[in-house]
């Protein structure tokens, strides 16, 4: 008789919070992602993530129950090609996905009705509730929104300077208001002070100016000074 | 590794006769099982409507009272499910594909007048027999309480109930 | 850095008759990145699951695609039969295997023809399709249609193959084997064909595993994964080994598919010699209740059929994951670093069936 391998299949139900850890375990055990499937049964979404083992042909399915307006994190970190399945879920069923690897913005299939496979009354409810996606669930301040002062400050520090500013920096003798300025020897234009330290000074100054704008928040600059001046 | 490996076959092909058939000069020959289109033997049809319920592309329409059976030849995909489901086996799948045309049309079939009359007659006879059977049953129920022992009132009630409902 | 431009490899292109859109980012005629865009043939077949009852649904699912049509009907019927605990008679299982292998041969011959057309060898293209016509004649003789069979039903098959037809099949198989041999020589030994295929689009075994590829596309890279080894239908009575390649380039993908044609001929001969007598279907009562994921080996790879039912005559959910959908990621990876002139060849090596991908 020829050699045949009988595969064993299981379906395990997990909670949405444990999804990323379970998927990380699957990736660690070298399983291959086979499919991600969504269904609307009994007034909630049922997502099935299926993984296949190469040597034993077994299939392990993770089952997650999600409400109508809950958001699901993308597993594209572990499996980059999961983006096609997740975009399809978003297009056909309207499941909110967060941080996908390649985001087609609900237009993977160019159909005029978004979330066409939901029943009509549920679909109307979904369209009414549509809100922008969050990055960190439950946090009051999201990293990608306006007014997030800390991240803006870090980004500001890394801005490269233009030529005119560098020239102006070279001409500056003394920059008031910063501690580092007093420690730097004030020499001639471009003589003793290296561009790096002057750029740092300039960066500090720009940082200080940026932080002054929202007066209500108290932030600390790198040299320990209070932001409010 | 060599070049022009296929040259021998290509040259042989130049001198063979063509593989294609000379259609429509020669008529097309189809095997027996080829699924082309549906034919109906209309006199065996009883207008039950099972073929209409089983068509995946909604190509068949059956009117029970009139005794008609129409099929939209262009919608039919020749799957053969209606042939499997017909209880009287009056549908068959025959070879020969549908000719193309400028617009879709329905192919109408009407059951003959004798067949309709025969069915009407059969229905009348069945109705008469059913009425006679009901009358006989009612008469039997009416006689039963007189001869049965007066054991419990329930028995008489139980026997009385079926006699009432057919009268409604 | 050299200048980059974006070329849209649009839905109308001379490679396949099926529409797929790729945005190619090229830099001095080498492709740097590719972003696929699908959805031009989307017909919404899965949403018909709540409008056609589970018996009629076979005919809808079969018509998803013309090339892999028997496989789709077979997978759907298998998943529903598993839910309803129906035991199919052995003769029906062998008949299904014969039709499935005929479908596989026909699909690979079609692919070989398209491949030859993609690198410009039209004579070989027509020669491959001439052999395919013989296989289509066998289809019409036994099942009734050249591409769509309509033979599967829940509980078995609804047509039988008579002994005369089996003799006809065996005779045709001998002729087909004789005719495929010179075509194989032209693909494998010819210098101009090899210079177009060797070393083009290499995918290592680790990359193929990381990208989730399946089918002959992954077998050529060394992954020995074939669902027929699990013994569904009558494969447990037949003797076969999965065919793998070593290098993972387009040449290996070509030779793997040609060897699978020979393997299919061998499997059909084994099945015809071992087929038992008996019924061809069993009557089925009741409604389906439960869920199951059936997997079968289509000519293009692994196809998953997920059915969920809850006791009514309409299914709750039917999902069909086709192998081309899984190979799209592998396609974008092989395109990186390829010449612009090799893009049609690389798209064809995954054997795309776009009407399956967007049902």
Residues B107-137 pLDDT 10s: 787 777 777 777 778 888 888 888 888 888 8
Count of domains observed in chain B:
2
- Average pLDDT over chain B reads 77
**Probe site for chain C from A1, A3, A4, A90 (most C CB atoms < 10 A):** A4
Tokens of residue A219, six digits: 């932030």
Quote the DSSP letter at residue A214. Answer: S
Q: How far apart are CA C269 and CA C219, in angstroms?
A: 24
Query: What is the structure's pLDDT at C232?
Result: 82
Helix (H, G, I), strand (E, B) or coil at B38: strand
Query: What is the structure's pLDDT at C223?
Result: 86
Q: Using the beta-carbon criterion (under 8 Å), do A50 and C293 form an inter-chain contact?
A: yes
Do residues A129 and C60 touch, judged by C-beta distance below 8 A? no
Range of the domain at C81: 4-27+40-152+162-357
Count of domains observed in chain C:
1
Query: What is the structure's pLDDT at A106?
Result: 77
> Is residue C35 in a domain?
no
Q: Using the beta-carbon criterion (under 8 Å), do C304 and A35 form an inter-chain contact?
A: yes
User: How far C237 CA lies from chain A's nearest CA (Å)?
Assistant: 7
Instruction: Give C189's contacts in chain B (Cβ within 8 Å).
Output: 1-2, 5
Q: Is the domain of B101 the same as that of B43?
A: yes
Residue ranges in chain A modelled with pLDDT below 50:
178-193, 214-229
Could you tell me which residue, B17 or C61, shows the higher pLDDT?
C61
Interface partners of A (3+ CB pairs, < 8 Å)? Answer: C
> Is residue B44 in a domain?
yes
Task: Please choose, from the candidates C190, C182, C258, C192, the residue with its C-alpha nearest in 3D space to the C-alpha of residue C220.
Answer: C258
Strands C30-37 and C21-27, bridge-based pairing: antiparallel
Task: Please choose, from the candidates C293, C315, C261, the residue with its C-alpha nearest in 3D space to the C-alpha of residue C132.
Answer: C261
Q: Using the beta-carbon criterion (under 8 Å), do A81 and C211 form an inter-chain contact?
A: yes
Interface partners of C (3+ CB pairs, < 8 Å)? Answer: A, B
Residues of A with CB under 8 A from a CB of C: 1-7, 9, 11, 30, 32-35, 37, 39, 41, 48, 50, 52, 54, 57, 59, 61, 79-81, 84, 102, 107-111, 116-117
Task: Please choose, from the candidates C240, C227, C235, the residue with its C-alpha nearest in 3D space to the C-alpha of residue C301.
Answer: C227
Q: Using the beta-carbon criterion (under 8 Å), do A35 and C321 form an inter-chain contact?
A: yes
Is A touching B (3+ C-beta pairs, cut-off 8 A)? no
> Is residue C157 in a domain?
no
Query: What is the structure's pLDDT at C244?
Result: 87
Query: What is the structure's pLDDT at C213?
Result: 87
How many Cα atoms occupy the beta-carbon half-sphere of C173 within 13 Å? 21
Q: Is B9 near chain C, with CB under 8 Å?
A: yes
**Nearest-by-Cβ selection for C239 from A2, A37, A102:** A2
Q: Is B153 near chain C, with CB under 8 Å?
A: no
Task: Give the CATH number, domain containing residue C281.
Answer: 1.10.645.10
**CATH 3.30.460.80, chain A: domain bounds:** 9-128
Tokens of residue C132, six digits: 């395919």
Angle at C343 between CA C340 and CA C344, to 5 degrees: 130
Instruction: Give C192's contacts in chain B (Cβ within 8 Å).
Output: 3
Alpha-carbon dihedral angle through residues A40, A45, A46, A51, given to the nearest 10 degrees: 110
In degrees and rounded to multiples of 5, residue C336 shows phi and psi of -70, 125
Q: Is the domain of B55 the same as that of B87?
A: yes
> Is residue B92 in a domain?
yes
Q: Helix A149-157 crosses helix A195-212 at what angle (to 10 degrees)?
A: 160
Do residues C132 and C112 touch, judged by C-beta distance below 8 A? no
pLDDT band for position B163 (cuts 50, 70, 90):
very low
Task: Please choose, from the candidates C138, C100, C123, the residue with its C-alpha nearest in 3D space to the C-alpha of residue C182.
Answer: C123
Q: How far apart are CA C149 and CA B35, in angstroms?
A: 9
Q: Is the domain of B33 the same as that of B103?
A: yes
Report chain C (359 residues): mean pLDDT per 10 consecutive residues.
82 80 86 86 85 88 88 91 90 92 92 88 87 90 88 88 90 91 86 84 87 87 86 85 86 91 91 89 88 90 90 88 88 87 86 83
ipTM of predicted complex: 0.87
Do residues A66 and A90 touch, judged by C-beta distance below 8 A? no
Q: List the single residue in A with minimal CA-CA distance to C317.
A: A39
Could you tell me which residue, B147 or C134, shows the higher pLDDT?
C134
Q: Using the beta-carbon criterion (under 8 Å), do C145 and B84 form an inter-chain contact?
A: no
Q: Is the domain of B131 the same as that of B107?
A: no
Handedness of CA C240, C246, C250, C255 (dihedral sign): negative
Q: Using the beta-carbon criterion (under 8 Å), do B19 and C130 form an inter-chain contact?
A: yes
C-alpha separations of C201 from B20, C43, C117, C198, C329 in Å: 37, 32, 18, 9, 13
Strand partners of residue A11: A61
The answer as to CATH 3.30.460.80 being correct for domain A9-128 is yes
Q: Using the beta-carbon criterion (under 8 Å), do B3 and C192 form an inter-chain contact?
A: yes
Task: Give the CATH number, domain containing residue B95.
Answer: 3.30.70.3270
Q: Is the domain of B73 the same as that of B144?
A: no
Instruction: Give C225's contacts in chain A (Cβ within 8 Å).
Output: 54, 57
Size of the A and C interface in Cβ pairs below 8 Å: 89
Q: Is the domain of B95 the same as that of B44?
A: yes
Do residues C19 and C12 touch, judged by C-beta distance below 8 A? yes
> Is residue B100 in a domain?
yes
Range of the domain at B156: 127-167
Q: Is the domain of B100 the same as that of B133?
A: no
Do residues A180 and A204 touch, judged by C-beta distance below 8 A? yes
Q: Is the domain of B70 the same as that of B107?
A: yes
How many Cα atoms occupy the beta-carbon half-sphere of A50 within 13 Å? 25
Tokens of residue C201, six digits: 């689009």
State what percent of residues in chain B have pLDDT above 70. Answer: 82
Q: How far apart are CA A209 and CA A37, in angstroms?
A: 51
Q: Give alpha helix (H) positions in C191-282.
A: 191-197, 205-210, 216-219, 250-274
Q: List the single residue in A with minimal CA-CA distance to C323.
A: A34
> Is residue B47 in a domain?
yes
Query: What is the structure's pLDDT at A65?
Result: 92
Tokens of residue A187, six digits: 């020499």
**Nearest-by-Cβ selection for B6 from C63, C133, C186:** C186
């Amino acid at each position: 008789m020829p050699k045949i391998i009988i595969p064993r299949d299981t379906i395990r139900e997990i909670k949405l919070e444990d999804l990323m850890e379970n998927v990380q375990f699957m990736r660690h055990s070298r399983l291959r992602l086979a499919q991600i499937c969504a269904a609307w049964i009994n007034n909630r979404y049922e997502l099935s993530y299926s993984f296949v083992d190469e040597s034993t042909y077994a299939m392990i399915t993770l089952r997650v129950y999600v409400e109508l307006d809950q958001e699901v994190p993308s597993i594209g970190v572990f499996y980059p090609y999961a983006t096609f399945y997740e975009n399809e879920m978003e297009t056909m069923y309207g499941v909110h996905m967060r941080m996908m690897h390649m985001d087609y913005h609900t237009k993977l299939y160019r159909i005029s009705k978004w979330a066409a496979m939901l029943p009509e009354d549920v679909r109307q409810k979904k369209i009414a509730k549509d809100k922008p996606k969050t990055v960190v669930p439950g946090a009051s301040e999201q990293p990608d929104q306006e007014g997030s002062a800390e991240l803006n400050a870090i980004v500001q520090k890394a801005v490269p300077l233009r030529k005119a500013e560098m020239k102006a920096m070279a001409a500056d003798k003394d920059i008031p208001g910063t501690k580092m300025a007093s420690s730097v020897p004030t020499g001639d234009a471009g003589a003793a002070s290296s561009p790096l330290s002057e750029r740092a000074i300039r960066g500090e100054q720009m940082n200080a100016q940026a932080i002054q704008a929202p007066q209500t928040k108290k932030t600390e600059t790198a040299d320990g000074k209070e932001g409010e001046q | 590794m060599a070049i022009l490996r296929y040259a021998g076959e290509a040259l042989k092909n130049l001198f063979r006769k063509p593989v294609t058939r000379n259609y429509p000069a020669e008529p097309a020959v189809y095997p027996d099982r080829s699924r082309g289109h549906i034919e109906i033997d209309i006199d065996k049809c009883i207008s039950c409507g099972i073929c209409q319920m089983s068509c995946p592309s909604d190509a068949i329409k059956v009117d029970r009272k009139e005794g008609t059976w129409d099929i939209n030849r262009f919608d039919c995909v020749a799957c053969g499910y209606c042939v499997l489901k017909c209880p009287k086996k009056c549908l068959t799948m025959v070879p020969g594909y549908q000719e193309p045309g400028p617009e879709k049309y329905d192919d109408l079939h009407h059951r003959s007048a004798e067949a309709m009359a025969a069915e009407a007659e059969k229905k009348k006879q069945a109705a008469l027999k059913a009425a006679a059977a009901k009358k006989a049953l009612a008469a039997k129920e009416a006689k039963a309480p007189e001869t049965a022992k007066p054991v419990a009132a329930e028995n008489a009630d139980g026997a009385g109930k079926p006699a009432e409902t057919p009268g409604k | 850095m050299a200048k980059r431009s974006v070329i849209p490899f649009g839905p109308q292109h001379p490679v396949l008759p099926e529409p797929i859109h790729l945005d190619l980012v090229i830099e001095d005629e080498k492709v740097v990145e590719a972003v696929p865009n699908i959805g031009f043939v989307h017909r919404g077949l899965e949403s018909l699951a709540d409008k056609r009852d589970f018996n009629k649904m076979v005919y809808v699912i079969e018509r998803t695609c013309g090339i892999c049509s028997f496989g789709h009907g077979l997978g759907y019927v298998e998943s529903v039969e598993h839910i309803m605990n129906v035991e199919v008679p052995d003769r029906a299982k062998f008949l299904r295997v014969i039709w499935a292998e005929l479908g596989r041969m026909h699909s690979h011959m079609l692919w070989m023809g398209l491949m030859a057309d993609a690198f410009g060898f039209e004579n070989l293209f027509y020669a491959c399709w001439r052999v395919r016509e013989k296989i289509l004649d066998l289809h019409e003789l036994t099942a009734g249609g050249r591409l769509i069979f309509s033979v599967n039903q829940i509980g078995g098959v609804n047509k039988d193959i008579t002994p005369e037809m089996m003799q006809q099949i065996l005779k045709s198989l001998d002729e087909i084997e004789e005719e495929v041999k010179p075509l194989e020589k032209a693909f494998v030994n010819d210098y101009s064909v090899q210079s177009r295929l060797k070393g083009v689009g290499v995918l290592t075994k680790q990359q193929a595993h990381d990208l989730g590829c399946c089918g002959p596309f992954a077998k050529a890279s060394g992954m020995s994964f074939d669902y027929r080894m699990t013994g569904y239908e009558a494969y447990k009575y037949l003797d076969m080994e999965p065919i793998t390649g070593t290098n993972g380039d387009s040449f290996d993908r070509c030779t793997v598919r040609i060897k699978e044609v020979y393997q299919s001929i061998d499997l059909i001969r084994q099945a015809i010699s071992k087929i038992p007598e008996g019924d061809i279907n069993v009557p089925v009562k009741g409604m389906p209740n439960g869920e199951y994921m059936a997997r079968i080996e289509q000519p293009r790879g692994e196809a998953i059929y997920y059915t969920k039912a809850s006791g009514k005559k309409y299914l709750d959910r039917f999902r069909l994951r086709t192998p081309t959908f899984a190979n799209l990621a592998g396609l974008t990876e092989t395109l990186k670093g390829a010449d612009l002139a090799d893009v049609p060849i690389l798209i064809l090596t995954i054997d795309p069936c776009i009407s399956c991908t967007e049902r």
